[in-house]
Amino acid sequence: MCETGKEIKLCTCVPNGMNRIVHNKNSRRFKNLPKEFTWTLRKYIGFSSSMMEGMITFPLHMLSEDLTTEKMLVDLNNRNCFDFDYKPNEGDNLQIFTPEKYSRQFLSFIYRNDEWIADFYDGFRYETEKINHGKVYFDEKTENKND
């Protein structure tokens, strides 16, 4: 029996527009760029010393059919999804974002007790530092399963 699906790869290539400053008069030129899911990997620093007010945005459990919390947890805990040499440290936070600019939704995972779990840091309470970022790729995979 053959099982198909999409394998998720977290690549450090810079997504379109992520490192580019677009001046207002040129903004229409980049309006129809392909929509790409992006990811950010952050290191836990500790409790935040600043006092901020605002509204917390909570992570979702599903961004698309191929990007769900369950699937990501299986992939993150069973193989290296990153395209660079990375060994997770206690408290590291991986966030995967939708392509939308103004209402960005996301999945969030924290590395705790030698495994990734679905969790997030409250940006008003905790301080984190960016380790790396990039684009999410989907590759077709096929696994042979013998009955």
Where helices occur in the chain by DSSP H, the ranges are: 69-78
- Is the residue at 23 inside a domain? no
Q: What are phi and psi of 135, to 5 degrees?
A: -115, 145
- Is the residue at 45 inside a domain? yes
Name the residue range of residue 78's domain.
Answer: 35-142
Number of folded domains that form the chain = 1
- Is the residue at 25 inside a domain? no
Could you write out the DSSP letters of every residue in 93-107? EEEEE-S-SSS--EE
- Is the residue at 30 inside a domain? no
User: For each of the chain's 147 residues, which pLDDT tens digit applies?
Assistant: 334 467 889 999 764 554 555 555 555 555 555 578 999 999 999 988 877 677 778 889 999 888 999 999 999 999 999 999 999 999 999 999 998 777 779 999 999 999 999 999 988 889 999 999 999 998 776 554 444
